[in-house]
Amino acid sequence: MRRRILSASASVAVLLGFSCSHVFDAALAKRIAPPVVNAITQNGITYSACHSSDPATVFVASVVATVAKSKKQLWKTELYQIKYDTTLERDVQEVFIKSLSVKGKKLIAVDESGKQYSVDAKTGLKN
């Protein structure tokens, strides 16, 4: 009987330890999820942000313009690249676009650090 009690106690300890470790792991997450950036449609053109990466070397942030009805891409402009430091975790190095807006003839993108990027809304050329 004593043996069963110890086994049951050990099982409970293992289960509690396991569940607590997952809570602890979640608390140590390096960053929150990237912001959701809604596409903007103006005068039949949809502007959106996109991010891509080569897992070993670089993170790239771009903006894209497409015809709203046909989804045909008009242009894609790279705003910035972040070269990964291999001694650091990738997720702490990535800086995502957090907002898009159209002001006059310019598309304005703002990244998570607050830096603004401006491109011509018609041509995609950087301003």
DSSP conformational letter for 92: G
CA–CA distance, 66 with 50 (Å, rounded to integer): 13
Domain ranges of the chain: 1-30, 40-120
Q: Per-residue pLDDT for the chain (127 aa), expressed as one digit of tens each?
A: 444 444 444 444 433 443 333 333 444 446 788 899 999 999 999 999 999 988 779 999 999 999 999 999 999 999 999 999 989 988 889 999 999 999 999 999 999 999 999 999 999 999 9
In words, the CATH class of domain 40-120 is: mainly beta
Alpha-carbon distances, residue 120 vs 4, 12, 95, 101, 125 (angstroms): 73, 62, 22, 12, 5
CA–CA distance, 14 with 80 (Å, rounded to integer): 47
- pTM of the predicted model, to two decimals? 0.74
